[in-house]
Structures are given as structure tokens and as C-alpha cells.
Amino acid sequence: MISACVWLLFLATVAGCGEHGPEIVGFSGPTMGTQYHIRVIAGETTPDAPELQARVDQRLVEINRRMSTYDPESELSRFNTSESDDWFEVSAETAEVVSYSLGLARDSGGAFDPTVGPVVNLWGFGPGKRRTKPPTDDEVEAALARVGHTKVEARVEPPALRKSPGVYVDLSAVAKGYGVDAVARLLDNAGATAYMVEIGGEVRTRGTKPGGAPWRIGVEAPSDHAPAEGGQRVNRVVELSGGSVATSGDYRNYFEYEGRRYSHTVDPTTGRPVAHTLATVSVLAESCMEADATATALLVLGPAAGYDWAVERGVAALFVTRQADSDEEGHAHSDEFTTRATAAWDAAQPEAPAEAQSEELP
């Protein structure tokens, strides 16, 4: 499934304290094939940073051991390799995430589909070997025969999953967002008064920085060319004092063959990388899992259908689209982009000043 490949920059102070204000404590570490970054303002009962980080690390390891397809011994991997079509017992949180994913799959007409793993892996964007050229049509059709959200069931109580033979569930497009939410709940329970949690570009916040300023997150401007040294730039600054933002994009993870670029954004309904002009989508939501998964669905739907879907549901979404002529298969590459926001996004995020939008990423 699609990972959130658009980088976000924290424009907040990494750590700061003053004689008359609380301290922002920051720490980071590896998880889910990427990095997490946390900025937190501790409350009276919050443990010190080393203990808090140890708890965060332990929680993220627990989620990986349940939902990672890169760990052959994870709960999800064992479910995927099971040949039984009976109920397979899983943890409550795995059942919750799969159940949510299946609901979004139905609502998006299959644009988001947690069973898309076989075709994603076939195109070289999964745990296996990378590809240097596209698979054959016959290979795509064979993999696509194993895809379909109606081939999986999730039961919340008692928690269990059931699938048709050969079906493979991949939660890559939602697990990072769920991990952010899980860490946020951990910080809430630890007595934190405010925080910003990020995993692989997916962000959730609570409260404000010392002095009352919101957390500021810079969404990177897309580019179809490798950036010059220090050349990543901010497209839009998001200010949050609660809630989440997640971004999905198609321009960082791809391969080229005979002059054409094949993105890791695979359409579950066709089994092939999307070929429209939408470069990135950012979504605001209370839950980071919801923002993460919805951004993926909108990126697959494309600039027109995705925008209409978001407007109909009141989704706060920001679409960044290439301005270029497509080739005969619809592939488009350009460094000219236009931005279009839904009314819900504009209501939540008035456009930031131009000088903030042009600030460079480190």
C-alpha cells in the first residue's frame, strides 16, 4: 500500500525552556522503516525523557509485532500465510485497524484497499526485491485476482480476521497513522500537557507551545526532479493546536523504465500505478489513522474524483497537481504545480504568508 512519502518539517522549537515557562522535551528514534520525532511538554506526573522514550519505543515495537508485513513472525504476517478460511484470532487493535480499513475501502469504491499488497509487491514496492521494469500484463492480472476488500472480514469482539485463500492484508497505508495515535494516547496517559508526534511524515498534536503558539508543520513542495543540495522547500505551513495532518505523495518512491516513471501509488482496482496528475494530498483529521488512510485514498482517486469525494464528505484536504501534458498513458511530470483546497481545509487552515511557504527544509 502507499506510504506517506512527503516529508514534513517541524517549524517548532526543538527544545526550549525559560525561567517562566515549561520545557519542550524532544526525542526521536527508528520505527516502521522510518523515524519518529516527538516534542512534548511534560505535566507534573510525566516521567523524564529517557523513561518516556522507553515507553514509546516499547509501544511502537508492540504495534510492529502485530501489524508489520516486514516481520514474518508478526500477527499480520502469520494471518497472511495461514491457509485456513476460518476465523484467525488477533489482538483487539489489529482487528480495529483492519475493520477501519475495510470500511474506508467500501466508502472509497476500492481506492483504498488493505488487500492490495500482492500487486504492490509485484511492482517492487513491498518487502521483496525492487523492480527495474514493469511486470507483464499476465503477472498483473494474476496478482490482481488475489485483491479485493470483500475477501476479508474483521470481527471486533472477540477480535479475529477471516479471509479467502491467497489474500494478503497490508496495513502500510494506515499503520503509521495508527502508531501516531497510539503514541499520542500514551503521552495523554503519561500526563503530558501538549505534544507533537510524527512518524514518517504523519503528525498528531495536542495543545500549544509555551507562550500559546500553535505547532507549525511545513508540508514539502513536491518535485519530479532530485532537489539540489538543501533545496527541499515548503509548500504550505500547517498550524495545529490539536488534531492530525497526513500527506501522501507519488514522487519519491518510483522506478523509471524506457523514459516512463512508475510510482508506488498503485490503484487497487487496476493493479497498476496511477497515471494521473495528482502529486500529493494532505488531509486534516482528529485521528491520524483517518488522515493517513484518507490521504492514500484521495491520491489513488486523483485530482477530480478525489476532490469531489472529499468535498461530499466534508474532508479537509489539500491537493497539489502537476501542470503538464500527459503522455499517451497519462503519465505527467513537471515542476509546475497548482494547489487546490477543499472548503473544510480553508476553514481550518487559512493560507500562510508567502515567506513562511518559501522557507527551506534543512
pLDDT of residue 337: 86
Q: Let me know if 362 is exposed, middle or buried by CB neighbors in 10 A (0-12, 13-18, 19+).
A: exposed
CA distance 279 to 224: 9
Q: At 32, which CATH number?
A: 3.10.520.10
Per-residue pLDDT of the chain (362 residues; tens, 9 = 90+): 333 333 444 544 444 444 456 889 999 999 999 999 999 999 999 999 999 999 999 999 999 999 999 999 999 999 999 999 999 999 999 999 999 999 999 999 999 999 999 999 999 988 888 888 999 999 999 999 999 999 999 999 999 999 999 999 999 999 999 999 999 999 999 999 999 999 999 999 999 999 999 999 988 777 655 444 445 667 789 999 999 999 998 766 777 878 788 888 899 999 999 988 899 999 999 999 999 999 999 999 999 999 999 999 999 999 999 886 554 444 445 568 899 999 999 999 986 544 444 333 32
d(CA 13, CA 28): 14
| Cα→Cα distances 250→2, 64, 291, Å | 9, 24, 17
So what's the pLDDT on residue 288?
A: 98
Report pLDDT for 325.
Answer: 52
User: What's the pLDDT tens digit per position in 73-93?
Assistant: 999 999 999 999 999 999 999
| Angstrom distance (rounded) from CA 326 to CA 231 | 26
- Residues spanned by the domain of 17: 1-362
Contacting residues for 106 by C-beta, under 8 A, at least 6 apart: 149
Reported as a single tens digit per residue, the pLDDT across 270-324 is 999 998 889 999 999 999 999 999 999 999 999 999 999 999 999 999 999 988 6
Helix segments in 108-237, DSSP class H: 117-122, 137-144, 172-189
Residue with cell 485483491: 147
| 291 residue type, one letter | A
**How many domains, the chain?**
1
E strands present in 4-69: 8-10, 16-18, 21-31, 34-41
d(CA 165, CA 143): 13
57 is in an annotated binding site: no
Residue 296, annotated as binding a ligand: yes
> Looking at residue 357, what is its pLDDT?
44
